[in-house]
């Protein structure tokens, strides 16, 4: 794999926040806030920001109760980031940054759900992990979670979604009650939390030398698990593979680049571009897995997942099957504040497929459009050709390629 960067950034890792924890956001994570070298411009800005200090002083001296200074500062910082009205730009407390690091390892205390915000601002269940507390309690894919232990929750912004997810990550053995809208029916489901180890990749052989491999998010051990899964399928005789990215809200960009590199021949995987026109380009090497590929997508396939689907589609490496994807094509940079471990996240660039497509707000159109049967749910560990119309369409498309 080769990467050519025209602009140098202090990147540590690239990621998409996901739900078992969050929603789809491609991010670059940096060690500290950079200086901007703006010189005299800062003098004028300091005069404008004097109003902020004046407000703080009046609150400190005259408010009816003594305000919490830390809360004032946190509110001011979050208000500044919220003013750009970008759901992917916000502030992390130290505790939230710690939780992000823990999630990147695949560990969290909760009930075994992958959730995200849908376009209407609801907290929607993307995946229910088989055998988890949520699975046993009867939570279904597509359910809208409206309250957790009596507290209303929302997916209207990244921050409110994160707050909802945090409420669902209680300590092990604690009872969690979810209020759920299923169609027009309001349900209350109780379940006991446990420490969940999320498996990012699952695979199995189907018929006629067709393998099936699902990637649930691009984070944690996903690259290693992907390689192990592909090797296992090849050992079992697979010469065709269906890669399932449905309801995958994304993950680390570096991870999706490594996975694309093993599937494509030599060529561009994707590039990012900031508002100044600076580009960072990502390439694959010539070597690749010698298999025919189909990729499954749906309306909640987002961000890093769209990078993979778009790269394989543009280069003719795979047939894309399913429904139009989410359309999340912007990149966030996460900066940490070394003084206290807090952080901030800013939208800093857009990403593009090899052909130069920006899919932000548009998504990727599949080569073969197939809607999922209304009664079928996407559950981890399942790959049923009889009940899954999209999976069957991908399977048939691969078989026809060799006729």
The helix/strand/coil state of 175 is: strand
| Side-chain half-sphere exposure of 346, counting CA atoms within 13 A | 13
| Rounded Cα distance, 153 and 25, in Å | 20
Contacts of 372 by beta carbon, 8 Å cutoff, 6+ apart:
298, 322, 323, 378, 388, 389, 390
The DSSP call for residue 218 is B
Q: 3-state class of 111 per DSSP?
A: coil
Catalytic residue among 22, 314, 380, 388: 314
- Catalytic hit among 303, 305, 380, 388: 303
How far apart CA 176 and CA 186 sit, in angstroms, is 16
What does the angle CA 72 – CA 74 – CA 79 come to, to the nearest 5 degrees?
95
- Candidates 349, 337, 347; CA nearest to 92 is 337
Helical pair 304-314 and 253-263, crossing angle rounded to 10 deg = 20
Q: Is 328 a catalytic residue?
A: yes
What number of other Cβ atoms are within 10 A of residue 390's Cβ?
Answer: 25
Q: Please say whether the beta carbons of 369 and 323 come within 8 A.
A: yes
**DSSP 8-class letter at 19:** B
Contact (Cβ atoms closer than 8 angstroms) between residue 120 and residue 211: no
In the residue annotation, 303 being an active-site residue is answered as: yes
Two tokens at 262? Answer: 């093993």
Backbone φ and ψ for 27, nearest 5 degrees, come out as -135, 150
Q: Which two tokens stand for residue 347?
A: 């939208």
Active site residue 314: yes
Residue ranges of E strands in 245-375: 267-274, 279-284, 292-297, 318-322, 330-336, 343-352, 368-369
- Strand 240-244, strand 210-215: pairing: parallel
Q: Which of 169, 209, 240, 328 is catalytic?
A: 328
Q: List active site positions.
A: 303, 314, 328
């Amino acid at each position: 794999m080769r990467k050519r960067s025209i602009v140098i950034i202090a990147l540590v890792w690239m990621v998409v926040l996901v739900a078992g924890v969050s929603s789809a956001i491609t991010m670059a994570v940096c060690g500290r806030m950079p200086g901007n070298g703006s010189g005299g411009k800062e003098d004028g800005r300091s005069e404008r920001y004097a109003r902020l200090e004046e407000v703080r002083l009046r609150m400190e001296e005259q408010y009816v109760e003594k305000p919490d200074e830390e809360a004032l500062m946190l509110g001011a910082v979050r208000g500044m980031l919220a003013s750009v009205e970008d759901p992917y730009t916000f502030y992390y407390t130290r505790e939230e940054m710690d939780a992000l690091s823990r999630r990147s390892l695949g560990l969290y205390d909760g009930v075994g759900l992958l959730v995200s915000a849908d376009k209407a601002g609801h907290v929607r269940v993307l995946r229910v992990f088989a055998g988890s507390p949520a699975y046993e309690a009867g939570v279904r894919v597509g359910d809208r979670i409206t309250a957790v232990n009596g507290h209303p929750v929302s997916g209207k912004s990244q921050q409110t979604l994160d707050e909802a997810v945090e409420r669902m990550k209680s300590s092990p053995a604690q009872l969690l009650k979810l209020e759920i809208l299923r169609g027009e029916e309001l349900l209350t489901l109780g379940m006991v939390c446990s420490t969940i180890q999320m498996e990012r990749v699952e695979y199995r052989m189907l018929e006629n030398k067709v393998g099936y491999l699902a990637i649930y998010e691009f984070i944690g051990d996903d690259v290693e698990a992907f390689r192990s899964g592909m090797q296992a399928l090849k050992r079992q005789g697979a010469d065709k593979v269906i890669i399932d990215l449905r309801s995958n809200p994304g993950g680390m960009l570096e991870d999706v680049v490594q996975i694309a590199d093993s599937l494509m021949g030599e060529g561009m995987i994707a590039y990012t571009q900031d508002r100044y026109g600076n580009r960072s380009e990502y390439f694959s090497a010539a070597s690749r897995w010698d298999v025919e590929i189909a990729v499954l997508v749906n309306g909640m396939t987002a961000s890093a997942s769209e990078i993979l689907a778009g790269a394989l589609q543009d280069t003719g490496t795979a047939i894309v099957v399913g429904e139009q994807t989410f359309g999340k094509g912007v990149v966030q940079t996460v900066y940490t504040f070394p003084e206290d471990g807090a952080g901030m996240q800013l939208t800093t660039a857009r990403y593009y497929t090899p052909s130069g497509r920006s899919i932000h707000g548009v998504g990727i159109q599949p080569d073969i459009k197939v809607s999922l049967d209304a009664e079928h749910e996407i559950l981890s560990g399942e790959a049923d050709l009889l009940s899954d119309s999209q999976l069957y369409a991908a399977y048939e498309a691969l078989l026809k390629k060799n006729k």
